[in-house]
Amino acid sequence: TSFCAAFAGVNMIYGSGMLELGMTFSLEQMVIDNDIIRMERKSMEGIPVNDETLAVEATKEIGVGNDFIAHPSTMENIDFASDPVVFDRLMLGDWRNNGYKDSAEVAHEIVEDVLKNHTVAPVPEDIMAEWKKITEKADQAYLKKAAAEENE
């Protein structure tokens, strides 16, 4: 449904990583969902129409109605529309030679790598100071409102 929503002009997608209506959360599902969202955003950029994307030279070379799958231009441009990280676009034989990993296995490997190796850059002090000001202002407004309601 989010793919259809993207083409309808919706620019907010939520629920990444959720399973069972949000009762369960999966880091692997979040990685898979992120890949899908990246592909949706890429499709929203539009598709350029030119001789290369229309495969004009390949069509002249191969001929209409013939097999384009094995042509080098097909593999050269296969990731043009999107460049997935989780979803494998290898030919079946190559996929088998690479260990038969399905998208859930690839997502799990990404999760393990992120948990082991990712470091979060600290928030710059000037931005943190602004956040603290905003938080303090919100806290004061809340306390003032709560006190007024208590006195009513």
Give the pLDDT mean for 19-38.
92
- Give Cα separations from 102 to 21, 34, 67, 78, 87 (angstroms): 24, 16, 27, 19, 8
Quote the pLDDT of residue 34.
92
**Structure confidence at residue 33 as a pLDDT band (50, 70, 90):** very high
- Give Cα separations from 73 to 62, 80, 91 (angstroms): 11, 11, 15
- Alpha-carbon gap, residue 61 to 74, rounded angstroms: 13
Output DSSP code: residue 70.
Answer: T
Place of tokens 């384009």: 68
Quote the pLDDT of residue 1.
44
Q: Within the chain, what is the greatest distance between any pair of CA atoms?
A: 84
- Alpha-carbon gap, residue 57 to 90, rounded angstroms: 24
User: Mind listing the pLDDT tens digit for each residue in 44-81?
Assistant: 888 788 888 888 888 898 888 888 888 888 877 776 76
Quote the pLDDT of residue 79.
67
Quote the pLDDT of residue 144.
94
**Structure confidence at residue 39 as a pLDDT band (50, 70, 90):** confident
CA 121: distance to chain centroid? 21
Backbone angles phi, psi at 24, to 5 degrees: -130, 145
Quote the pLDDT of residue 43.
80
User: Mind listing the pLDDT tens digit for each residue in 80-102?
Assistant: 767 788 988 788 888 889 888 89
